[in-house]
């Protein structure tokens, strides 16, 4: 399944850059059965990386306990309009996706 769409909004907050990112991902726990009773295999994002102007500022390891279609909010120090924010993920099937946005 090709990685579904991602959406991100990066905006200047009070003394920090507020980054809100949405990702399409089933985050399957491996405990769920589908309509005809078959176990749906584990399929979830494991790594999340947030970069500001090319430099990694947050490295995250997450699990299947994160809700489906994950939504994260982060706060980066300082930041100015036009700074480049990039968020990328890698899941346990080796699939990945990334999104870039300029600070509004």
| Residues near another protein, by CB under 8 A | 4-7, 16, 20, 22-24, 26, 29, 31, 42, 46-47, 49-50, 52, 54-78, 90, 92-94, 96
33 versus 61: smaller Cβ distance to another protein: 61
Closest CA to 101 of 32, 7, 33: 7
61 versus 82: smaller Cβ distance to another protein: 61
Q: Measured from the CB of residue 100, what is the shortest distance to another protein in angstroms? A: 14
Rg (alpha carbons) of the chain, rounded to whole number: 15
Q: Measured from the CB of residue 95, what is the shortest distance to another protein in angstroms? A: 8
Q: Which residues contact 76 (CB under 8 A, 6 or more apart)?
A: 16, 17, 19, 50, 52, 57, 58, 85
Q: Measured from the CB of residue 56, what is the shortest distance to another protein in angstroms? A: 6
| 49 three-class SS | strand
């Amino acid at each position: 399944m090709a990685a579904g769409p991602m959406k991100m909004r990066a905006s200047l907050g009070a003394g920090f850059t507020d980054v809100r990112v949405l990702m399409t991902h089933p985050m399957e726990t491996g405990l769920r059965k589908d309509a005809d009773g078959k176990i749906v295999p584990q399929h979830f994002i494991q790594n999340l990386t947030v970069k500001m102007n090319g430099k990694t500022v947050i490295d995250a390891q997450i699990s299947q306990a994160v809700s489906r279609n994950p939504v994260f909010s982060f706060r980066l120090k300082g930041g100015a309009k036009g700074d480049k924010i990039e968020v990328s993920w890698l899941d346990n099937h080796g699939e990945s996706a990334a999104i870039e946005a300029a600070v509004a």
